[in-house]
Amino acid sequence: MAPKESAGTELLLRSFERRFLAARGLRSFPWQSLEAELRDSSDSELLRDILQKTVKHPLCVKHPPSVKYAWCFLSELIKKHEAVHMDPLDELYEALAEILMAKESTQGHRSYLLPLGGSVTLSESTAIISHGTTGLVTWDAALYLAEWAIENPAAFTHRTVLELGSGAGLTGLAICKMCHPRAYIFSDCHSRVLEQLRRNVLLNGLSLGADVTANSDSPRVTVAQLDWDVATVPQLSAFQPDVVIAADVLYCPEAILSLVGVLQRLAACREHQRAPEVYVAFTVRNPETCQLFTTELGRAGITWEAEPRHDQKLFPYEEHLEMAILKLTL
């Protein structure tokens, strides 16, 4: 758990750095340059600015991240400050004291800023594996697919989108807020994941199902229980998706076989109509797993092509990871 929190801390600082650069019309500079900026700063305004854009940001105050995450972040910031300044900054230590007095929870919040001023806030488990599932946290390919969707909104605008294995809901919530789908169906098979998905949909100001009014600009949002191994053609036909997406679901051979099976049944739903477009995003952790996926697609008669890497990086994730999005033709 500790390495993930530490990595998340650095990513959050890097996220601030990108925004800091954009405000100055710059493209990029090394991570170490934050220390250089602190060293060159004649006062503490830079650190106060960082605090206001992170732990003191209104989103973080309203929906706080995990105590451990905030503690790691502030500790790192204090270390960088102390490395270049002799005098302590009271605001830093006051913020850390508040965190130390807070009670740790099994749930925390993560907030992601969207272009044009919006945001997505998620309630997530503080553990990678919880209640027998990894679906209670956001994984890197979900962030990568959300970035691609925001850069390619026409793929979703005024269309019905079915997401397989929605997890915490980041990708779908970003699409609902940025791409104007007609309807969006979050789906998963785990009861705890479904409960958290419903909470996250409501947390982000969206309504579920019949709560959406006819003149609303928001899509019709549904959270559906969907077990790939037992889902029938009639059940899948009821969704009537124009687009199907999935992120970080190629984690084992069994999941790959189940995914290909449900895609075959989705193809059968529209025998006399155009099949839905399918986009699957994944992190290349094991090349053999990716090879198995493309092999099984070929056996099922499903063709694929890799989407070009997109330009914009909006969200913090490990930059060295190899990620891909395949467009499938059912």
Q: What angle do CA 80, 2, 316 make, to 5 degrees?
A: 65
- Enter the DSSP assignment of 57: S
- Is residue 238 located within the same domain as residue 304? yes
- Is residue 92 located within the same domain as residue 214? no
pLDDT in tens, 88-146: 788 888 998 988 888 777 677 888 889 988 899 998 865 454 434 444 468 789 999 99
Percent of the chain with pLDDT over 90: 45
Determine, yes or no, domain membership for 2. Answer: no
Determine, yes or no, domain membership for 57. Answer: yes
- Is residue 281 located within the same domain as residue 185? yes
Determine, yes or no, domain membership for 51. Answer: yes
Structural domain count, the chain: 2
- Is residue 175 located within the same domain as residue 64? no
**Domain termination site, one of 88, 105, 122:** 105
Distances from the Cα of 189 to the Cα of 131, 165, 223, angstroms: 13, 8, 11
- Is residue 116 located within the same domain as residue 245? yes
Q: What does the pLDDT average to over 140-169? A: 95
- Is residue 25 located within the same domain as residue 164? no
- Is residue 92 located within the same domain as residue 137? no
**Domain termination site, one of 60, 75, 105:** 105
**How much is the pLDDT for 26?**
38
Determine, yes or no, domain membership for 248. Answer: yes
- Is residue 101 located within the same domain as residue 135? no
Q: Backbone phi, then psi, for 23, in 5-degree steps? A: -65, -20
**How much is the pLDDT for 312?**
78
- Is residue 89 located within the same domain as residue 116? no
Q: How far apart are CA 215 and CA 6, in angstroms?
A: 45
Determine, yes or no, domain membership for 1. Answer: no
**How much is the pLDDT for 104?**
74
**Domain termination site, one of 82, 105, 128:** 105
- pTM score: 0.81
**How much is the pLDDT for 183?**
97
Rg (CA), the chain: 21
Q: Which domain holds residue 246?
A: 108-329
Determine, yes or no, domain membership for 191. Answer: yes
pLDDT in tens, 223-278: 999 999 999 999 999 999 999 999 999 989 999 999 999 999 999 987 667 889 99
Q: How far apart are CA 55 and CA 51, in angstroms?
A: 6
- Is residue 172 located within the same domain as residue 222? yes
Q: How far apart are CA 153 and CA 226, in angstroms?
A: 26
pLDDT range class, residue 319, cuts 50, 70, 90: confident
- Is residue 269 located within the same domain as residue 120? yes
**How much is the pLDDT for 7?**
43
Asked if 141 contacts 283 with a C-beta cutoff of 8 angstroms, the reply is yes
Determine, yes or no, domain membership for 43. Answer: yes
- Is residue 185 located within the same domain as residue 316? yes
Q: CATH code at 323?
A: 3.40.50.150
